[in-house]
Each structure stands twice: as C-alpha cells, then as structure tokens.
Amino acid sequence: MAVDPQIAAMLAAMSEWPGVRAVPLDQLRQAVRDSSIALPPAADAVVARTEDRAIAGTDCPVPAGPVAVRLYWPIGKGPFPITVMMHGGGYVVGDLDTQDMIARALCAWGETIVVSVDYRLAPEHRFPAGPEDSYAALVWAHAQAAALGGDPARLAVAGDSAGANHACALALMARDRGGPALRGVVNIYGSCTYPTNDTPSAREFADGPILRGDDVAWFWEQYLADPADRDDYRASPHCAASYAGLPPHFVGTAECDPTRDDAEAYAAKLAAAGVPVTAKRYAGMVHGFASWVGFLPGARAVLRDAADFLKTVFAQ
C-alpha cells in the first residue's frame, strides 16, 4: 500500500524519528505540542468564538480536581447540538491546543458546539482517569447545555486515536450509567482494543510511518497499571459484553496505520450487533492525518465526512 505522495514528501524532509520509547517524556510532550500547534487549521473552519473553562471533575472512582475544557461555538443562531471531543496522544501526550484544528473543523462544518476535554494523562494519572474525566465533561455539557446555547437532547462524542477510544468508551459508559443519551460517536483511527492484535496492518506497518507498533505498546504500558484493566471496556471497548442500545458510529481509518485493522474490526463488531455504522478507510493516509486538515486533502475528507455524520445524526 502506497503512502499518499504529499505525506511521503513530508516524511522525506523530516529527520528520522527514533520512536517514543527513546525520547524522555517531557521532551516527547514538548515535541508533540510544538509540531501540533505549528499546524494551520483549515481556512474555512471558521468558528464564532472559543472560551476556556474549568469544570468539576468526578470523585468516583478516581478523584479529580477541575478539568479544563475549551468551548467552540459555530456561527449562526442556536440552540446548537453539542459534541464532546477528546484529543489523541496515546493517553500520554496532547492537550487543548494540539488538536485545536480538529475541534474547529468539527464545530464549523458540523454546526455543533464542541467541548474539547483536557483529560488527565498517564503515566501520572493512569486508567481510568482519562475516560472518567471525559465522562465528567459529558455530564457537565448535558447539564449546562441550555446555558451554553446548546440542546441537551442532541449530544455526541468524538475523538481521534486515544481520544476516539475514550469516545467509544463514553458511549458504553453513558448507556450503562443511565445517560446522558447520545446521538452519535465519531471515532477517527481509534483502535478500541488492548492489546494491538497480530493483524495484517499491525505487521505491515510495524515500523510506521509516523506510528510504530512499539509506540503503541509503549503508550499502553504507560496507561494501564493493573493487568485486569485490560479487560475493562473503558480501556478497551472491544471487551464490552454487549453493544445493544449504542448510538450510530462513524469510524474513519488510515490505510497505512498499524491500528487500522483493530479499528475496522470494532466497526464490524458494532455493525454485527445492529449498531448503525458509517465506516471509511482513507487511502494513503497515516495515523494522525486528521491534524493536517489545513493542507492535506485526505484530512479534509475525513473531517468533512465526520461533520456530515454529526449533522445527519443530530437531524434525526
């Protein structure tokens, strides 16, 4: 499978990446942040305004202090639907700035308020801190919807990579905890499983580009402290006993990604359980490609498709 020519040219101009295991954590976080905030948003992903806030975290089962969120409002007159979004970064890196371009695209093109969540990161805060912070943000968004100019009856969750795993876990958590009810889930290259299985994509792209098989393993090592956590659907939605009652899912995968087959297997598992699924593989793309929405046609495509999915489920 051939990597998109534009991506191949970018990679050729970059120095060789040694893999996350070889980089000190503080340097890894700074490198990801620096490279991410240098990326432009899509010129036509224009939002009305943004606002940073701190919301109360959850005390059960992992005590948390305030959770930072960034709110994005679309242009127009509300009440708007609301999408709670979690950033990627292997549960270890990332913040409200690193996937700002994705949040802006979903807000503008999906015509939805976006609540971007700065959930706690491993290894300082291991599982289940991340999904529990994200669930607290979902509950807050539902409770504050009217005050935000939103519609509490039209809620969705979204994420990329690790954030997509959180989003898929939130759908299960919301179902099992009695709400809030969701209209849809956007999963952009989230594998939804631990461990990464011995799939064709895991073998073919074990050395990348961008994400390596050993990188995936290292991220999971930082995230999960107790081996029993591997079977918890908040960490691995593939482990859920049932998918009954889940809302429609959008699953967008990158063709040249070691986690591709796991994400597509999750989509197939949902569909087999009767969950409406819109799944699409993006040719020539690599893990993380959605962040390049400012200049890469494939990135625009996946976020346009995700935004169209959101508008469709919100209209139902």
Tell me if residue 161 is catalytic. yes
Report domain extents, the chain.
Answer: 5-315
For the stretch 278-299, pLDDT in tens is: 999 999 999 999 999 999 999 9
Q: Which residue has the higher pLDDT, 196 or 299?
A: 299
Tell me if residue 100 is catalytic. no
Six-digit token string for 30: 């700074």
Level-2 CATH architecture, domain 5-315: 3-Layer(aba) Sandwich (3.40)
Q: From the candidates 95, 100, 133, 257, give the one annotated as an active-site residue.
A: 257
Q: From the candidates 36, 161, 191, 291, give the one annotated as an active-site residue.
A: 161
Give the pLDDT band (50/70/90) at residue 39. Answer: very high
Give the pLDDT band (50/70/90) at residue 51. Answer: very high
pLDDT (mean) for 254-259: 98
- Is 13's pLDDT higher than 60? yes
Give the whole-angstrom CA distance, residue 76 versus residue 281: 32
Type of residue numbered 303: L
What is the predicted pLDDT for the residue at 47?
98
What is the predicted pLDDT for the residue at 17?
80
What is the predicted pLDDT for the residue at 60?
54
Let me know the angle formed at the C-alpha of 280 by 35 and 191, rounded to the nearest 5 degrees.
Answer: 60
Which percentage of the chain shows pLDDT scores above 90? 91
What is the predicted pLDDT for the residue at 196?
74
What is the predicted pLDDT for the residue at 203?
96
Tell me if residue 142 is catalytic. no
Give the whole-angstrom CA distance, residue 151 versus residue 145: 6
- Is 44's pLDDT higher than 80? yes
pLDDT (mean) for 207-233: 94
- Is 61's pLDDT higher than 60? no
